[in-house]
Amino acid sequence: MSRKKIALIGAGQIGGTMALLAAQKELGDVVTFDIAEGMPQGKSLDILHGAPIVGTSVQLRGTNDYEEVRGADVVIVTAGLPRKPGMSRDDLLDVNYGIIRTVGENLKALAPDALVIVVTNPLDAMVYAMQKITGFDATRVIGMAGVLDSSRFSSLIAQELGVSAADVTTLVMGGHGDTMVPLIRYATAGGIPITQLLDKERLEAISQRTAQSGGEIVGLLKTGSAFYSPALSAIKMAEAYLRDQKRIVTCAAKLKGEYGVSGVYAGVPVVLGAKGVERIIEVELDASEQAAFDKSIAAVKELTEWVDKKSVSV
Ligand code: APR
């Protein structure tokens, strides 16, 4: 059996970190594409130099030529601009849409059978645009957000409790923006409902910090946005697909009536396996959770409508 091919479109902070992680995990051969000349080549060579240390046998190539992406099994897209302090994810809409259009057209021609994971922000609009441009089945075009948002929520709860992050499980749904919905009721630590371990006020504060975590990192880094945990999150999704793990993860998936929503992408729990999104899981939401979810969907729809108008005018 030949090795799988993973194409990383964008070799910046997230792209470079993903190349390292994919190599370490032996997910497959890694092709890293970027428009910046030399940069993907340099990062790939750097990781290759460390291959004997981690004992990986995968091949890594950096390129500025789309042709090398041909036949990829998984494509992870981070091409685009990251946020700077003072910017919201939505401020990136115009410029990143143009980039996603070019990437999507190339993927349509070169990697028609790939699972495409979009990371570029504003996430829910960019993954919607990618599916529209490629025309790929929505089960194979997904966005990375919920894995990261849930991981952020879990890590903050673990810190507060002074327990291992590995024991905390959470669910954050909705759009990948300030309106995301961390579901306190579904958080557990070692199987124990979190509401039995922390009081309501602390949980509300942690949930709020979760929704603003991306901005917190931007404020600290000043020159860009988070990259280690986004890279870990996207690679977890790629692994679930390549190894047919059937993991339950939250990712931006195209809704077809689930949660009362149709035709847009938003963060929902799904089963991720060799067929891509194998199932969207509908958890029961109470009235206030559903209202928060609806509010988040309304914010996503605004950006999605912008994409629809833009794709008519080009
Ligand atoms: N094609 C390919 N790569 C491109 C293109 C393009 N048309 N335009 C820009 N790039 C590349 C840049 O050269 C850069 O190397 O995309 C890369 C983005 O990397 P960073 O600037 O380091 O950004 P990163 O932190 O990796 O975030 C990427 O993910 O989380 C989101 O908001 C974030 O949209 C941003 C994306």
Q: What pLDDT is recorded for position 307? A: 95
Interval between CA 139 and ligand 1 midpoint (Å): 24
Task: Name the H helices within the chain.
Answer: 13-24, 39-49, 51-54, 93-110, 123-134, 146-161, 200-211, 213-221, 228-242, 287-313
Mean pLDDT for back-to-back runs of 10 residues, the chain (314 residues): 92 98 97 98 98 94 98 98 85 94 98 98 96 98 97 98 98 93 97 98 97 95 96 98 98 97 97 98 96 96 94 65
Q: For a substitution probing ligand 1, which of 8, 9, 14 has the most ligand atoms within 8 Å of its CB?
A: 14
Q: Which of 109, 126, 143 is the last residue of a domain?
A: 143
41 and 15 fall within a common domain: yes
Q: Which domain holds residue 201?
A: 146-308
259 and 273 fall within a common domain: yes
231 and 246 fall within a common domain: yes
Q: What pLDDT is recorded for position 313? A: 58
For tokens 């507060």, name the residue: 160
60 and 91 fall within a common domain: yes
Looking from the CA of residue 103, the nearest atom of ligand 1 is: 1
Cα separation of 73 and 130, whole Å?
A: 16
Ligand 1 site residues (CB inside 6 A) read: 9-15, 34-36, 78-83, 92, 96, 99, 102-103, 119-121, 224-225, 227, 230
Q: Is residue 314 part of a domain?
A: no
- Global confidence as pTM: 0.97
Cα separation of 8 and 105, whole Å?
A: 15
Cα separation of 195 and 246, whole Å?
A: 28
Q: What pLDDT is recorded for position 252? A: 98
Give the per-residue SS3 of 289-309.
HHHHHHHHHHHHHHHHHHHHH
Q: For a substitution probing ligand 1, which of 14, 21, 78 has the most ligand atoms within 8 Å of its CB?
A: 78
Q: Is residue 250 part of a domain?
A: yes
User: Catalytic one among 89, 132, 140, 176?
Assistant: 176
153 and 131 fall within a common domain: no
Q: What pLDDT is recorded for position 314? A: 52
176 belongs to the catalytic site: yes
101 and 38 fall within a common domain: yes
Q: For a substitution probing ligand 1, which of 31, 65, 81, 147 has the most ligand atoms within 8 Å of its CB?
A: 81
Cα separation of 257 and 259, whole Å?
A: 6
Looking from the CA of residue 83, the nearest atom of ligand 1 is: 32
CATH number at residue 235: 3.90.110.10
128 and 50 fall within a common domain: yes
Total structural domains within the chain: 2
